[in-house]
Amino acid sequence: MAQPSALHLPEDVSINSMAYANDRLWAGSFGQGIFEIIRNKDQISYRKIPLNGQANFIHALHADKKGNIWAGTRGEGLLVFKADNPAQRKQYTDANGLSHNYIMSIGEDERGVMWLGTWAGGLIRHDPETGSFNIYKTIKGGGNLAQFPIVLTFEYKNEAGKPVLCVGTRGGGLLELELDKAGFPQKLLRKSTNNPTQNQTISSNFINCYWKDVFGRTWIGTEDGLNLWNQKTNSYKHFFKADGLPDDIIQSLAEDENGNLWVSSTKGVSRFSPERSKKDYCRVYDLQDGLPSNFFNSNVSCYTQDRYVFLAATMGFYIFNPTKSATTRWHQR
């Protein structure tokens, strides 16, 4: 394993969100604003984007294909700026389009529509082309979208070829919303919640992260186990610490080009490869392997064009290229 190098971010930085696009990496912190992480061969540096007050608490980041950075804050709504001109930015709050100023998640669909998950204001559909905001606190079929914080959204097409929007929550499980041809939610199709008496339901109602792998499978990380979701049958296969994972609390997921799933938790990281033989399908890494911390943050991961996996811990970054069997560590102090 290669000798780690270091990038010294400010003393008290905790990275809560990451975004990657056009070979540029952005990190949102809890109290210190936004950082652009700049990599030039073996040289690593950062550029801090100055913000004010509660806007420095970044809970969600997204980089779109047009070079815009979208930042969801804790209390100051949504910030949008060009990657090359962060000083000029737009701000959206409950005074000009939002239902709530605490933005938990930001997702973009194939139409370029932005989906914003809030702490207690439901789901927001924002079309950057028209500037419209559509707020969904309830939906036909019994879905109360404002009851629980929305931590992620992603879309898939069902067997009939119709788009379905998945909404992951903290406490309310996973909701599936039917979209019309224009991409607007119409009704609740299904709701996946844990049922302790049925072992094929989702393992926890508290969802942290998801990843769609190279085989087209959807993995969902929760506060109590990793789930492999079969959308056709709506059944879940569970993986826990007893199956070789470092912990049952699954924080973030990422996949390398070899199809290995990298699973971060509150007790380290594992390379999870269910296609391998039983003795080699899970390898755990912790402090002894050079990790900056065993405690990783929720839903903070990415995979870059040059084949590096990035995961954020409470004490820094874990950065590695699985094809080189090498690790690079960035310390905060």
Round to whole Å and give the CA distance between 172 and 206. 7
Round to whole Å and give the CA distance between 95 and 324. 50
**Predicted local confidence at residue 279, as pLDDT:** 61
**Non-local CB neighbours of 130 within 8 Å, separated by 6+ positions:** none
Question: What letter does residue 23 receive in the DSSP assignment?
Answer: T
Report CA-CA distances (Å) from 76 to 143, 240, 299. Answer: 27, 37, 21
Q: In the chain, pLDDT over 90 holds for what percent of residues? A: 67
> What are the backbone dihedrals phi and psi of residue 289, each rounded to the nearest 5 degrees, phi first?
-95, 5
Structure tokens that stand for 176 in this block: 């599936």
Looking up tokens 């903290």, which residue turns up?
170
**pLDDT digits 0-9 by tens, 306-315:** 888 888 888 7
Beta bridge partners of 85: 82
**Predicted local confidence at residue 4, as pLDDT:** 34
CATH code 3.40.50 for 1-91: no
Report which of residues 323 and 221 the model is more confident about.
Answer: 221
Round to whole Å and give the CA distance between 38 and 295. 24
238 contacts 229 by C-beta, under 8 angstroms: no
**pLDDT digits 0-9 by tens, 113-157:** 999 999 999 999 999 999 999 999 999 998 799 999 999 999 999
pTM over 0.75: yes
63 contacts 38 by C-beta, under 8 angstroms: no
Task: Give yes or no for residue 234 having a pLDDT over 80.
Answer: yes
Report domain extents, the chain. 1-91, 92-331
Structure tokens that stand for 145 in this block: 């979208």
Average pLDDT, the chain: 89
> CA torsion 300→306→307→308, rounded to 10°?
-40
Please count the residues of the chain.
333
224 contacts 206 by C-beta, under 8 angstroms: yes
Under CATH, to which class is 92-331 assigned? mainly beta
Task: Give yes or no for residue 331 having a pLDDT over 60.
Answer: no
Round to whole Å and give the CA distance between 45 and 43. 7
**pLDDT digits 0-9 by tens, 169-223:** 999 999 999 999 999 999 999 999 999 999 999 999 999 999 999 889 999 999 9
Report CA-CA distances (Å) from 202 to 128, 134, 166. Answer: 34, 29, 14
